[in-house]
Amino acid sequence: MNKTSVYRIADIKLDERSVVRRTPEIEHDRSVAIFDLLDDNHFAPAQSEGGPYALHLSIEEGRLVIDIRLEDGSAHHKHILSLRPFSRVVKDYFGICASYYDAIKTASPQKIEALDMARRGVHDEAAELLKDRLEGKIEVDLDTARRLFTLISVLHLRPEGTIR
């Protein structure tokens, strides 16, 4: 990606008010998603003259809030999406991830590969769902949607360790 593109995310923050104790694997996935997202993304809000953008992602009353600001911090736009369409895929994703992380400790390479393929499949399904939900609001490519879904799934964790 061209780092000079105006249609990109230059900074991203997750609402940490509801921080939960995350497993090292989930924390690693969150860190990698942020690193990769900032390194390479396409993010073009509708009717925008361009950024780069600073995002703040949070969950309020069961809804995803995507607070888009310009890189200088000035307000740009806020999108609010229902999380209900994501609930099944987030549960599936965490379930497969847990199985995958357990398997990499002791399972055969074939079992690990099968779980990794399943994990990627659910991740792709979730990214397509996110792209669909953002249609007409924000244009993102598949890699950007995948990384954003990873961050959204982390926000789904409740303080008691369950999924919203």
| SS3 per-residue string spanning 56-115 | EEEEECCEEEEEEEECCCCEEEEEEEECHHHHHHHHHHHHHHHHHHHHHHHCCHHHHHHH
Average pLDDT, the chain: 86
Residues 51 and 102: their CA atoms lie apart, in Å, by 41
**Where does the pLDDT of residue 22 fall: very low under 50, low under 70, confident under 90, or very high at 90 and above?**
low
Most distant pair of Cα atoms in the chain: their distance: 51
pLDDT band (50, 70, 90) for residue 98: confident
Residue 47 phi, psi dihedral angles, 5° rounding: 55, 30
Residue 157: per-residue pLDDT: 62
Pairing of strands 53-60, 9-14: parallel
Provide the 10 A C-beta neighbour count for residue 52: 18
Interval 76-86: pLDDT, tens: 999 999 988 98
What span, in angstroms and rounded, lies between the C-alpha atoms of 66 and 58?
7
Q: How much is the pTM?
A: 0.86
Looking at 54-58, 59-63, 133-137, which range is the least confident one? 59-63
